[in-house]
Amino acid sequence: MVSIKHYVITIALTGLFLAVLVIWPDAQAESKKDRSGPMTSEFSGDPNQPRRHFRVRDISEMTPDERQKNYQKIRNALRAGYAASGGKTAQNYQKWPRINTAPYRSATHGRRFVNNYVNSKGAAYAMAEESGTLPVGTIIAKDSFVAAKDGSVMPGPLFLMEKMTQGFNYVSGDWRYTMVMPDGSVFGATKGANAARVEFCIGCHLAREKYDHLFYVPKKYRKR
Ligand code: HEC
């Protein structure tokens, strides 16, 4: 009896030892894994309710011309990726006027290079601080990409703001914020699936309540 007990205990302990040896490092690696593709660091805090955008670890400084060239390389791929979401905006936004002269680095959108497009309803957006409250149906689309020092260019998410009818959501000034990942999966949308994940958009843009929650294109990259 004693020897059987001994046998069982030995097996159990060996099992435990192996589990610690094999499963633990795996679990560690899993928790360290990037959830948002290459070149980005982890979320801060709860991944379902991020406090800020995914940050980019390594970015390269480029001239506006170089940025534009890199954007040209990836532009079609960006649209194709976002379009997998099935959204009309994701398919069409590149046909709308681009408001910025060249891609610029957005510190507040994960330090990626971004562009701002607006549909015809929201044409006044180009007038920046003079644009006033934009009409229902306005859609502003901000696409993004990452350029690494080794010259590789990678897609980033699509950031959307759509002006909904009055009463849609008071805190967001009736804007619906949506974030579409490069593969077309929708990360979150105000009042839609995973709304908590885009609450941080509302929070930051709220600082601009006076300007219809809009920050506008940085002065250096405006056409006028
Ligand atoms: C920490 C602040 C901050 C957060 C968080 C933030 N934004 Fe912005 N957003 C800005 C600033 C500043 C600009 C203008 C400059 C720029 O593009 O970087 C801007 C511009 C935009 C624009 C162009 C319209 C405009 O305001 O001129 C869109 C669209 C946009 N953001 C969508 C989003 C979405 C969607 C989220 C959440 C997934 C988000 N933003 C989160 C600060 C923020």
Per-residue pLDDT, averaged over 151-168, amounts to: 94
Cα angle 201-207-211, degrees, rounded to a multiple of 5: 100
Q: Which amino acid is at 68?
A: Q
User: Over pLDDT 90: what percentage of the chain?
Assistant: 64
Q: Which atom, in ligand 1's list, is nearest to the CA of 114?
A: 17
Residue 85 has pLDDT above 90, yes or no: yes
The Cα 61–Cα 146 span in angstroms is 11
| Residue the block writes with tokens 């309710």 | 49
Ligand 1 pocket check for 179: Cβ under 6 Å: yes
What pLDDT digit, counting tens, does each position of 111-154 carry? 799 999 999 999 999 999 999 999 999 999 999 999 877 778 89
Which structure tokens are listed for 73? 């390389």
- C-alpha span between 132 and 156 (Å, rounded): 29
Token pair of 135 as six digits: 């009409």
Distance 128 CA to ligand 1 centre (A): 14
Compute CA 18 distance to the chain's CA centroid, rounded to the nearest angstrom. Answer: 40
Asked whether residue 84 carries a pLDDT value surpassing 80, the answer given is yes
Mutate to test the pocket of ligand 1, among 52, 119, 142 (most ligand atoms within 8 A of CB): 142
Alpha carbon of 72 to ligand 1 centroid (Å)? 22
Q: What is the pLDDT of residue 18?
A: 38
| pLDDT at residue 148 in the model | 79
Q: For position 152, what pLDDT does the model report? A: 83
CA distances for 131 relative to 58, 127, 187, 217, angstroms: 35, 5, 29, 12
What was the pLDDT predicted at 15?
45
As a whole-number percent, the residues of the chain with pLDDT over 70 amount to 73
Mean pLDDT of 25-35: 36
Q: Does 186 sit in the ligand 1 pocket, CB within 6 Å?
A: no
Q: Which residues contact 158 (CB under 8 A, 6 or more apart)?
A: 78, 82, 90, 93, 141, 142, 143, 144, 179, 180
User: Is the minimum distance from the CB of 140 to ligand 1 under 6 angstroms?
Assistant: yes
Residue 109 Cβ contacting ligand 1 at under 6 Å: yes
Q: Does residue 65 surpass a pLDDT of 50?
A: yes
Going from the C-alpha of 157 to that of each of 10, 30, 183, 187, the distances in angstroms are 52, 23, 9, 9
In angstroms, rounded to a whole number, what is the distance separating the alpha carbons of residues 197 and 69? 32
> What type of residue sits at position 109?
H
Ligand 1: which residue has its CA nearest to atom 40? 201
Q: If you measure from the C-alpha of residue 215 to the centroid of ligand 1, how many angstroms do you get, rounded to a whole number?
A: 7
93 C-beta closer than 6 A to ligand 1: no
For the segment 12-28, the average pLDDT, to the nearest whole number, is: 41
Residues 154/70, Cβ–Cβ less than 8 Å: no
Do 148 and 59 touch, CB atoms closer than 8 A? yes
Listed range (44-58, 88-102, 157-171, 199-213) with the worst mean pLDDT: 44-58
CB 89 within 8 Å of CB 160: yes
Task: Determine if ligand 1 sits within 6 Å of the CB of residue 175.
Answer: no
Whether residue 201 is predicted with pLDDT greater than 50 in this model: the reply is: yes
Which pLDDT score is estimated for 53?
Answer: 56
Any ligand 1 atom below 6 A from CB of 201: yes
**pLDDT the model gives residue 43:** 42
pLDDT for 4: 59
Please answer whether residues 200 and 207 qualify as being in contact, where contact means their C-beta atoms are separated by less than 8 angstroms.
Answer: no
